[in-house]
């Protein structure tokens, strides 16, 4: 794999960019691999990357029924934070946030990581109490956050209206080292690094069945033929229940669409990420100038990847009161992604009833921020059978009542 650098860019400019290699190979699938990862999104690619980097397991195939990064990895609003209340959540998200800080250098690929800071507005007295509690919990967890006053909020976000009649700003939970990154670049960077290690990334290859013998996985059936493996990782976001059924077990999840939109580009006006959980809206400004706006998930199960007018209206109506200037903007585009939701709004990273088969799912509406930490923990689990990052997120916690209830703790699953 050629090293990307300023020198390489200058050299290729002199020869009219004729010497660039493909970022990753597109091989035909082999008959057998040590590990197969189903799903070439961020979590699947990160799992493969850390299997190779941390454990030397490089006879790996990452299988994708569509195109690389074409699911939720390319359909989210790129927020990265770790200010969660529950200890297991804070641990895996903080691991992820810390990996993001140096990931561009590790992958030799510019992820455009921007530690611009994330604030979560408190607009009710209940949220004030909840976020102060979270700030204290974060201090015990080693996660740097702080409670800030409305005046400090205004200093950080001059365009905000503190005195909305329905949603006044009473303060915020502020994480200065949180931020955003380029979602497509994350998938491309991991894919490039995996390919350089000799792993096969196989696109347009749908898994149609899971083969097993005596309770242990033996391989998968695909639209490009059968492929054998010793271990199988299922990392397919909203389609996790479909793959789990092929493997012979059920998951306590449901799939719904999560929607977002961006405005027309404007001059820089907001250099932090703001989340308003009372109205379930959040906003940041992209490097291109677009206001990136996200809202809630659909209230019914579905597999659509389209937006809907009523969600746009509901989200923007509330945000206009807090940010009056956005009322004059035009919407540029909207989209949806399929997310899988667990009952406690925390993920599942676990062994499964099928030996040699592992599942990574249930990230709900907050999966992008967890990608490096999720891949790190999942790779450790698949390689060694145990990971401190994943031990609280096992599938059996639902049968045993060991919930990690972030929906109640945070008031929102993002």
Integer Cα distance of 193 and 67 in angstroms: 17
Count of CB atoms situated within 10 Å of the CB of 136: 13
Q: 101: which 2 tokens?
A: 């800080």
Q: Is pLDDT at 409 greater than 70 in this prediction?
A: no
Integer Cα distance of 399 and 397 in angstroms: 5
User: For the chain, first and last CA: distance in Å?
Assistant: 36
pLDDT, position 408: 53
Mean pLDDT confidence for 70-87:
92
Residues forming CATH 3.50.50.60 domain(s) in the chain: 6-78+189-251+345-410
How far CA 75 is from CA of 70, 254, 262, 337, 342, in Å, comes to 8, 19, 12, 6, 20
> In this predicted model, what pLDDT tens digit does every residue of 311-357 receive, in sequence order?
788 888 888 989 999 999 999 998 888 999 998 989 999 999 999 99
How far CA 233 is from CA of 39, 217, 377, 386, in Å, comes to 9, 10, 13, 15
Q: How many CA atoms lie within 13 A of 2 on its CB side?
A: 13
Integer Cα distance of 178 and 109 in angstroms: 20
* Domain at 110-182+255-342, CATH class: alpha beta
Integer Cα distance of 141 and 247 in angstroms: 37
Q: Burial of 14 by CB count in 10 Å (0-12 exposed, 13-18 middle, 19+ buried)? A: exposed
> In this predicted model, what pLDDT tens digit does every residue of 52-75 receive, in sequence order?
999 999 999 999 999 999 988 988
Prediction pTM value = 0.95
In SS3 terms, 359-384 reads as: EEECCCCCCHHHHHHHHHHHHHHHHH
**Cβ atoms of residues 404 and 364 within 8 Å:** no
How far CA 310 is from CA of 307, 320, 413, in Å, comes to 9, 15, 20
How far CA 345 is from CA of 132, 219, 235, 405, in Å, comes to 21, 31, 17, 6
Residues forming CATH 3.30.9.10 domain(s) in the chain: 110-182+255-342
Integer Cα distance of 46 and 152 in angstroms: 37
> In this predicted model, what pLDDT tens digit does every residue of 258-283 receive, in sequence order?
889 999 999 999 999 999 988 778 99
**Cβ atoms of residues 61 and 355 within 8 Å:** no
* Domain at 6-78+189-251+345-410, CATH class: alpha beta
Helix (H) or strand (E) holding 14: helix 6-14
Strand partners, 229: 33
> In this predicted model, what pLDDT tens digit does every residue of 211-260 receive, in sequence order?
999 999 999 999 999 999 999 999 999 899 999 999 999 999 999 988 89
């Amino acid at each position: 794999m050629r090293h990307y650098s300023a020198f390489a860019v200058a050299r290729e400019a002199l020869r009219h960019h004729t010497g660039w290699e493909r970022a990753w190979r597109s091989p035909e699938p082999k008959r057998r691999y040590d590990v197969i990862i189903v799903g070439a999104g961020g979590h699947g690619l990160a799992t493969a990357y850390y299997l190779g980097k941390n454990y030397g397991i490089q006879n790996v195939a990452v299988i994708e029924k569509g195109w690389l990064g074409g699911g939720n990895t390319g359909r989210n609003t790129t927020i990265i934070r770790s200010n969660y209340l529950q200890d297991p959540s804070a641990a895996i998200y903080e691991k992820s946030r810390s990996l993001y800080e140096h990931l561009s250098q590790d992958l030799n690929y510019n992820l455009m990581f921007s530690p611009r800071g994330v604030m979560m507005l408190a607009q009710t007295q209940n949220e004030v109490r909840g976020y102060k509690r979270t700030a204290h919990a974060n201090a015990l967890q080693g996660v740097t956050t702080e409670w800030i006053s409305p005046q400090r909020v205004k200093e950080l976000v001059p365009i905000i209206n503190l005195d909305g009649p329905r949603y006044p700003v009473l303060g915020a939970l502020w994480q200065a080292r949180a931020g955003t990154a380029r979602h497509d670049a994350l998938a491309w960077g991991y894919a490039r690094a995996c390919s350089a290690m000799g792993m096969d990334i196989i696109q347009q290859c749908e898994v149609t069945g899971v083969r097993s013998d005596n309770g242990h996985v033996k391989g998968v059936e695909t639209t490009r033929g059968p492929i054998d493996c010793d271990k199988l990782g299922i990392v397919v976001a909203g389609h996790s229940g479909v793959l789990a059924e092929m493997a012979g077990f059920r998951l306590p999840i449901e799939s719904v669409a999560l929607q977002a939109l961006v405005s027309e580009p404007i001059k820089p006006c907001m250099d932090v990420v703001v989340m308003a959980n009372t109205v379930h809206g959040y906003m940041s400004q992209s490097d291109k100038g677009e206001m990136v706006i996200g809202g809630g998930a659909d209230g019914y199960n579905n597999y659509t990847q389209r937006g809907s007018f009523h969600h746009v209206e509901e989200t923007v109506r509330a945000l206009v009161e807090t940010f009056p200037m956005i009322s004059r903007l035009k919407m540029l585009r909207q989209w949806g992604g399929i997310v899988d939701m667990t009952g406690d709004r925390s993920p599942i990273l676990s062994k499964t009833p099928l030996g040699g088969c592992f599942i990574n799912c249930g990230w709900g509406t907050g999966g992008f921020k967890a990608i490096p930490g999720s891949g790190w923990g999942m790779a450790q689990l698949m390689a060694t059978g145990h990971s401190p990052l994943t031990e609280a997120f096992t599938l059996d916690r639902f049968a045993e009542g060991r919930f990690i209830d972030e929906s109640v703790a945070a008031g929102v699953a993002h």
